[in-house]
Structure 1
């Protein structure tokens, strides 16, 4: 079923919602859905679904709920939609089959909309415009490397008709500060306008935590886990000997830069430059050298590995040219002379922040580490401009220009740090390495080669794939990086053990520190959000709890059929 078939919903004068879909999707039947607009009373907003966090999971949950007739209030701490793809500045990390399968249809439609945006607004060459799989930056990390601001604008366009019809209220620059809970049910959230300082109360039937750090979990008393688990608790091959709750993956303050040959765009020397220039991460096994050098520890074997950099895209021997890795604009895709140079996102090993943990700390501690992360990233830029080795024997590339306009900030840095790890709910089911890690899965299944598959989940509500990729951690771990298998997303990992009407839609699902490494990427987060956004109207229609959908095989089958009918895959094909 095509996503465009769900957009044609109109509100009649009587308040009844009908579908204009040619496929005849039925109208909502619940009594409270006759209220088709957000209810507003003073500083209170009431909707069917309250979503905190407008990252990819939060947006996907909102789209799924909206097309199934719910009203939604969506809060966002920044002024951009899109989370890691926009406000954090990270082009999509995706698997090799993403153009045809392995993610919800709506996610691929979003990707098509990004390409369409460039075709409408940018002076592409005829060849680039005709390329069905246009990659604006031709970056090597993704088949769709593009500017963060474009992701935000495309999401705004996709929400526009729902906003116009008052089906969704998007509260940007709002952060949830507290929650009211009765027994095991959340009754309301209080969100603060970060610009005015005023609070508003949000009430609904269900609540979704799509924040980057799982911030609703402690506020609502929902049980959760942080950090790295002990091997004795999970049985995972790559787990450590003890549980370390403050051992979380590094975050990164990303930034965009381009290169203008012959010009000098050198920034003032950052305040902490001398510190970061000489910083050596304390890792086990050891890091390759100083952080601000063109080398790092090879994630697969932790041996020192040289990296390359040339802002004009010139090959740097056999080493990866970091300028090309997350390049978001490639001059060759646009009319000659339109751009002065290529643009790239800097999300490299050199600006991964390993010097502190930002989960379950005070706001002051959080702000301290984020500010330090900003200093690290600015120091990296300054080092590239003034001291990075050049092939001609000189030092520095002063033509590197910080592109604050691409990031939508005054300082040129991302609006929010790129967060790789969150609080994780204690769930009905937890995904372990033995379910998705290639090596341990082979051990427990006795299979190998083409017969080796990830664990099948009877309650699958989505699929995804990425290798298990854990960056260096605040506890001193070096990279943990190894193969995984195309996997399913089990419904049990999306249901808290106790809280009845709060669901996760980000990196806060029931994974471990290890399996978070493959469930944390862009299309998987979207898939999680879309499943959650469809689950809420499903349980409201049937007046059951989410846990009942998993425990009642008949209900589960009905829910999975509804997922399939709306473009969500729950199984991988036998051969990709």
Structure 2
């Protein structure tokens, strides 16, 4: 059958209705729950599954370089971990000036400008160049999830309006049509009306949170932990386990009303969760719902503090301030009655099951259990959390469903730390980026820098941070070095027109711990969009760009002109 380079709608039965006029850009975004037929004249060069940070960056780069793109998103919000999952950016200390693409810093600056344009900031906050709306401890830019959605749409809208980009929200990829090493089409199901659309293109990008396209397309991948004999990594276990993935978290938003009684109904599974002691090695220091947890670096018991009015809690971290997205003191009097914070803490990491490579029924079961855990944590904070005055509970705490865009204040989608990972042309190992392992391999002096990759197409930095796992491993957390992103880690060993753009690149379980953060995911996505455009122009395959040193150097030079960094400054 002759391959068509456009998008068609599969018949949904006798009740289906086809729109005879093609919808354009933002109209499609706004009306993506409708049964649509897109005109045969629309040429889709790239189909992106997943509208998170990597997916949006892929779309921006591909559209900027003249390609026509369709991007699907499972929820009704684009932005992934920064929006639908409710996780303020985890970044490195130099993010304001280098160590990420210019477009990522543009996104961050637009977030700040959004607040300066639309919010009644105090004079002091308004004049701050590097405004942090929440002054959260975790990041130099803690902000509301909805603002991330608004800014990303603002960045994408020129391409949506011109018809270069179609965004289909609330669409999940269910099937793929593959011949040999080539994906021909994928089938997306509209989650609101169960109708299906077949998406055909020259290239396909897996920017989903769990690497969903990999099994659907037969792309080779790995999951969980590799053994020390497989990778030689210093911190790898003696025996690998494909089911041993990091915990995921269903985050939630809350504020505090002093003197109010906002206590919710006792959650259905509260008895279980309030008594639950994680079964792991090395041991967890007691119940999960407590202000004590395992120090990620030493695994010794570590105290945390909690006070919803932001006051100091002695020498220990006040969890309220950790992921605070609104500091009321940055805004005019009366704008906010209190701060708003996001709860992504050790206490609501879900440990009782894996959601990678399970049935949809099993997936939903664990998500619901994670919801019960987060609700139970919130109820515990309201009723049983110890207060500095010796009392128990903060009844004025209030779930903020409006902040998360849900009915219950929980995030729209779980925060996924670990995905399926492609079997890549090149796999990043701990010896390339781990501070201790690198010194053992190349010596003390050379080990002060991460590995230099000849095919570097990006930079990033974060310590290697692995949360407790679904198979009972406690934290693995240790130092890394400012690293490069090698192009080989973005190339599947066999498939020619499928590329990863999320946490599904060629890392190991260990190195995933520093390549999974917001700016790195964005960097990966932007390079993927650019690589597709470059390969299309050169009439070659993405893997050939890496194999041909002349082409590779031309590509690296070209992406640098577009604001991408391939090396850290000396």
Q: Find out whether 1:567 has 2:549 as its counterpart.
A: no
What TM-score does the superposition give when structure 1 sets the normalisation length? 0.92
Q: Find out whether 1:488 has 2:469 as its counterpart.
A: no
After superposition, give the CA deviation of every residue in 1:205-246 in whole Å (9 maximum; x if it has no partner): 000000000000000000000000000000001001112000
User: 1:338 corresponds to which residue?
Assistant: 335
Aligned equivalent of 1:130, options 115, 127, 132:
127
User: 1:23 corresponds to which residue?
Assistant: none
- C-alpha distance in 2 between matches for 1:154 and 1:266: 34
Q: Say if 1:42 and 1:368 are closer, same or farther in 2 by CA, change over 3 A.
A: farther
- 1:466, CA displacement in angstroms? 0.2
Aligned residue for 1:492, secondary structure, equals helix
- 1:508, CA displacement in angstroms? 0.2
- C-alpha distance in 1 between matches for 2:41 and 2:52: 23
- C-alpha distance in 2 between matches for 1:143 and 1:196: 41
Aligned equivalent of 1:323, options 320, 324, 327:
320
Segments of 4+ moved more than 6 angstroms: 36-39, 42-45
- C-alpha distance in 2 between matches for 1:400 and 1:193: 36
Q: Find out whether 1:466 has 2:462 as its counterpart.
A: yes
Q: Find out whether 1:476 has 2:469 as its counterpart.
A: no
Aligned equivalent of 1:525, options 514, 521, 527:
521
Aligned residue for 1:277, secondary structure, equals helix
- 1:46, CA displacement in angstroms? 4.5
Aligned residue for 1:74, secondary structure, equals strand
After superposition, give the CA deviation of every residue in 1:264-286 in whole Å (9 maximum; x if it has no partner): 11111100000000000001000
Q: How does 1:161-560 map onto structure 2 within 5 Å?
A: 161-448=158-445, 452-560=448-556
Aligned residue for 1:214, secondary structure, equals coil
- 1:447, CA displacement in angstroms? 2.7
- C-alpha distance in 2 between matches for 1:232 and 1:444: 16
After superposition, give the CA deviation of every residue in 1:101-142 in whole Å (9 maximum; x if it has no partner): 000000000000000110111110011011000000000100
- 1:452, CA displacement in angstroms? 1.0
- 1:158, CA displacement in angstroms? 1.0
Aligned residue for 1:531, secondary structure, equals helix
- 1:43, CA displacement in angstroms? 10
- C-alpha distance in 1 between matches for 2:262 and 2:518: 32
- C-alpha distance in 2 between matches for 1:134 and 1:544: 44
Aligned residue for 2:492, secondary structure, equals coil
Q: Find out whether 1:86 has 2:83 as its counterpart.
A: yes
After superposition, give the CA deviation of every residue in 1:468-510 in whole Å (9 maximum; x if it has no partner): 0000000100000000000000000000000000000000000
After superposition, give the CA deviation of every residue in 1:254-307 in whole Å (9 maximum; x if it has no partner): 000011101111111100000000000001000011000001000000000010
- C-alpha distance in 1 between matches for 2:285 and 2:57: 39
- 1:448, CA displacement in angstroms? 3.6
User: 1:26 corresponds to which residue?
Assistant: none
1:58 and 1:529 in contact (8 A); partners too:
yes
- 1:44, CA displacement in angstroms? 11
Structure 1 unmatched runs, 5+: 1-35
- 1:331, CA displacement in angstroms? 1.0
1:422 and 1:508 in contact (8 A); partners too:
yes
Q: How does 1:42-61 map onto structure 2 within 5 Å?
A: 46-61=43-58
Q: Say if 1:164 and 1:41 are closer, same or farther in 2 by CA, change over 3 A.
A: closer
- C-alpha distance in 2 between matches for 1:222 and 1:540: 22
1:43 and 1:199 in contact (8 A); partners too:
no
1:44 and 1:203 in contact (8 A); partners too:
no
1:385 and 1:400 in contact (8 A); partners too:
yes
- C-alpha distance in 2 between matches for 1:252 and 1:203: 34
- C-alpha distance in 1 between matches for 2:191 and 2:423: 30
What TM-score does the superposition give when structure 2 sets the normalisation length? 0.93
- C-alpha distance in 2 between matches for 1:220 and 1:572: 35
Aligned residue for 2:493, secondary structure, equals coil
Q: Say if 1:316 and 1:41 are closer, same or farther in 2 by CA, change over 3 A.
A: closer
Q: Say if 1:531 and 1:331 are closer, same or farther in 2 by CA, change over 3 A.
A: same
Aligned residue for 1:60, secondary structure, equals helix
User: 2:7 corresponds to which residue?
Assistant: none
- C-alpha distance in 2 between matches for 1:158 and 1:532: 18
1:45 and 1:202 in contact (8 A); partners too:
no
1:43 and 1:201 in contact (8 A); partners too:
no
- C-alpha distance in 2 between matches for 1:44 and 1:87: 33
1:44 and 1:202 in contact (8 A); partners too:
no
- C-alpha distance in 2 between matches for 1:446 and 1:243: 27
- C-alpha distance in 1 between matches for 2:80 and 2:161: 23
Aligned residue for 2:255, secondary structure, equals strand
Q: Find out whether 1:105 has 2:102 as its counterpart.
A: yes
Aligned residue for 2:216, secondary structure, equals helix
Aligned residue for 1:176, secondary structure, equals strand
Aligned residue for 2:529, secondary structure, equals helix
After superposition, give the CA deviation of every residue in 1:7-27 in whole Å (9 maximum; x if it has no partner): xxxxxxxxxxxxxxxxxxxxx
- C-alpha distance in 1 between matches for 2:168 and 2:263: 37
- C-alpha distance in 2 between matches for 1:512 and 1:45: 39
- C-alpha distance in 1 between matches for 2:84 and 2:55: 14
With 530-539 and 334-343 compared, the bigger mean Cα shift is at 334-343
